[in-house]
Amino acid sequence: MQERIIQFLKESDGYISGEEISHRLKMSRAAIWKHMQELRAQGYEIAAVPHLGYQLVASPDKLLGFEIQSDLNTKIIGKKIIVLETVTSTMDEAFRLGMENCPEGTVVCAEAQSKGRGRLGRVWSSPKSRGLYFSFVLRPSLPLNQLAQLTLMSAVALAEAIENISDLKPLIKWPNDILLGNHKLAGILTELRAESDQVKFVVVGIGLNVNASAHQLPSGSSSLKIGAGHSFDRAKVFQAILRSLEKWYVKLLHDEFDLVMDEWKRRSATLKKRVRITDPAGIIEGEAIDLDEDGALLIRKDNGIVIKKTAGDVFLLR
């Protein structure tokens, strides 16, 4: 019910009378007043003026499931959204949901993570309410060796969504970092549950720095706020990302991975650059010449030999 009240307040241009809300929601004015008190307790600033009614002055900087879901219009990703306060990692929560057979596309996000994790055992710093930290469950019928497609597709969707809601032009650093200039804005982590070579489900986790200031982030990081010079409504950013993820995931389901690849290459910060890549096998230097259909990076070493890398960390040299 509170969702409908917020919706009325948001839609109305100026004040909306208690009488009108009570008429439209078929509820007493005393009950409306009680809901207004509860909404204020949740952080909504609602002005009340006798004879005029109520007006929404400010919304809390808090992710609310119904706000994210309203007008989202996706069919898979975000059909179910769970918003939590502080968790260890949304990856753990999504795994639990995946094991409980949650519907495909279920999203779990949190205001903060006490043990946010990144690739290669790194920590993902998650300052409270300053970013978007979420994971979603997919059940694609892809063989294990093609699962990198999901990471590439997520990177494309994330970069596109950021471009749609801002003037920023993020690029993708192989395999899945989203960069603003040479600072990291977002990261993607893909984990899976498989049984005897069969993929049961995949969890994709996304961490995006939204309204964090430089002192709240590890060095070398950026945020939408740092890049654009103003804060963002996290619910709106979230919606844009979920819509874009749906768009690109549907392309994957329709066997259109070539479109994902084209878009990844167009947004790449890595291809045609001289790179150094480290992994447990050692260090390789050369030119990043292409991406193959498994998402591996092809590097031409100075002696002309082309090496295929499926994992590791890339440093852009020039």
The single residue among 111, 160, 177, 246 that binds ligand BTN, judged by CB under 6 A, is 177
User: Looking at 76-84, 89-97, 234-242, 268-276, which segment touches ligand BTN (CB under 6 A)?
Assistant: 89-97
Q: Applying CB under 6 A, does 111 fall inside the site for ligand BTN?
A: no
Classify the phi-psi angles of 286: left when phi > 0, otherwise alpha if psi is within -120 to 50, otherwise beta.
Answer: left
Strand pairing of 198-209 and 131-138? antiparallel
What's the DSSP call for residue 117? B
Q: Applying CB under 6 A, does 119 fall inside the site for ligand BTN?
A: yes
CB of 234 to ligand BTN, least distance (A): 14
Between 39 and 153, name the residue whose CB sits nearer to ligand BTN.
Answer: 153
Between 9 and 240, name the residue whose CB sits nearer to ligand BTN.
Answer: 240
Reading the block at residue 138, the tokens are 């997919």
CB of 177 to ligand BTN, least distance (A): 6
φ, ψ at 234 (rounded to 5°): -65, -30
Reading the block at residue 206, the tokens are 């996304």
Reading the block at residue 73, the tokens are 């219009």
> Within 10 Å of residue 3's Cβ, how many Cβ atoms?
14
Q: Are 105 and 78 in contact (CB under 8 A)?
A: yes
Site string for ligand BTN, 238-267 (x = CB under 6 A): ------------------------------
Q: Applying CB under 6 A, does 90 fall inside the site for ligand BTN?
A: yes
φ, ψ at 316 (rounded to 5°): -85, 125
Question: In this chain, which residue has its C-beta nearest to ligand BTN?
Answer: 187
Q: Applying CB under 6 A, does 170 fall inside the site for ligand BTN?
A: no
Sorted by sequence, the CB contacts under 8 Å of residue 54 that are 6+ apart come out as: 9, 15, 16, 17, 18, 21, 36, 46, 47, 48
Q: How far apart are CA 225 and CA 243, in angstroms?
A: 21
- Cis peptide leading into 140, omega within 30 of 0? no
User: Looking at 71-79, 85-93, 234-242, 278-286, which segment touches ligand BTN (CB under 6 A)?
Assistant: 85-93
> Within 10 Å of residue 49's Cβ, how many Cβ atoms?
9
Q: Applying CB under 6 A, does 118 fall inside the site for ligand BTN?
A: yes
* Residues numbered 187-226 forming contacts with ligand BTN, rule: CB under 6 A: 187-189, 205-207
Between 18 and 116, name the residue whose CB sits nearer to ligand BTN.
Answer: 116
The single residue among 124, 136, 174, 232 that binds ligand BTN, judged by CB under 6 A, is 124
Between 59 and 190, name the residue whose CB sits nearer to ligand BTN.
Answer: 190
Between 32 and 189, name the residue whose CB sits nearer to ligand BTN.
Answer: 189
Residue with tokens 């979230």: 238
The single residue among 35, 117, 243, 251 that binds ligand BTN, judged by CB under 6 A, is 117
User: Looking at 46-54, 127-135, 192-200, 295-303, which segment touches ligand BTN (CB under 6 A)?
Assistant: 127-135
Reading the block at residue 149, the tokens are 């497609």
Binding site for ligand BTN (CB under 6 A): 89-91, 113, 116-119, 122, 124, 133-135, 177, 187-189, 205-207
